[in-house]
Amino acid sequence: MTEWIQACDAEDVEQEDVIRFDHAGRTFAIYRSPDDDYFATDGLCTHEKVHLADGLVMDEIIECPKHNGRFNYKTGAARGAPVCVDLKTYPVKVEAGKIFLQLG
């Protein structure tokens, strides 16, 4: 069984935005969609290891701040050059205003 890790307050992430979350030597990105659902992925772009939390969230897409590689943060799917490797996603739950991630 993988445990749930408390990451941040739900209010720490603005709507249609992303923040960085570091845990146990790893880095993650936590997203809040325009319709207020929360998602989590690995924090670094699969192309050049750039922190995605500095990138722009538009609808369900996160765009890498350096090379404009795009991913669907809900599924992790890479959306064209220069990225070709999908992003790993993690289950998220919200309880009492706190965000929890299940890290595999």
In angstroms, the Cα distances linking 67 to 13, 56, 60, 104 are 23, 12, 18, 28
For the bound state, the minimum distance from the C-beta of residue 40 to other proteins, rounded and expressed in Å, comes to 19
Query: Distance between CA atoms of 84 and 22, rounded to whole angstroms?
Result: 24
Nearer to other proteins, 55 or 76 (CB): 55
- Residue 16 within binding range of other proteins, rule CB under 8 A: yes
Stretch that binds other proteins, among 3-11, 23-31, 47-55, 95-103 (CB under 8 A): 47-55
d(CA 39, CA 84): 21
Q: Which residues would be at the binding site for other proteins (CB under 8 A)?
A: 16, 50-51, 54-56, 63, 65-68, 81-82
